[in-house]
Amino acid sequence: MEFSDRVLKCCDCGAEFVFTAGEQLFFHDKQFKNEPKHCKQCKAKRVRGGSRVRPETRTNCSQCGAETTVPFKPTQGRPVLCRSCFQQAQGKPQPVPEIAAESLAIPEPS
Ligand SMILES: [Zn+2]
Ligand SMILES: [Zn+2]
């Protein structure tokens, strides 16, 4: 099968790029059905962006025990909450510290 260079348009930036005969042969060999949709610059960007994996650590929720993943490394002794427990905790009104309640009480005259 003969291949000749073709000009394709990038889906991302609209730039024209050459799908060379050599590349077409490579695609044909690999039995890739789809033509490349992105120019070299955009492809490079995608590869770089895709390789940045967020570190996710599997752990168990300190509250309900459900398995969850966190985008950080949990430190020993620090409670880790699953998504739903975290949202519940966020929705709860902050408990009034005892010291504040005491200071509101009017001291009895002695
Ligand atoms: Zn592009
Ligand atoms: Zn939980």
Per the structure, the complete domain to which residue 58 belongs is given by 54-91
Q: Is 9 helix (H, G, I), strand (E, B) or coil?
A: strand
Q: Tell whether 105 is covered by a domain.
A: no
Q: Which ligand is nearest to the CA of 59?
A: 2
Pair 77, 58 in one domain = yes
| pLDDT of 5 above 90 | yes
| pLDDT of 103 above 60 | no
- Give how far Cα 40 sits from Cα of 7, 14, 28, 37, 56, Å: 13, 12, 19, 10, 30
Q: Tell whether 16 is covered by a domain.
A: yes
Q: Please write the tens of the pLDDT for every residue from 72-100.
A: 777 777 888 888 888 888 887 766 555 55
What is the number of structural domains in the chain?
Answer: 2
User: Residue 69 — very low, low, confident or very high, per pLDDT cuts 50/70/90?
Assistant: confident
Pair 67, 45 in one domain = no
Q: Tell whether 109 is covered by a domain.
A: no
Pair 47, 58 in one domain = no
C-alpha 55 – ligand 1 centre gap (Å): 29
| pLDDT of 104 above 60 | no
Q: Tell whether 72 is covered by a domain.
A: yes
C-alpha 9 – ligand 1 centre gap (Å): 8
Amino acid at 23: E
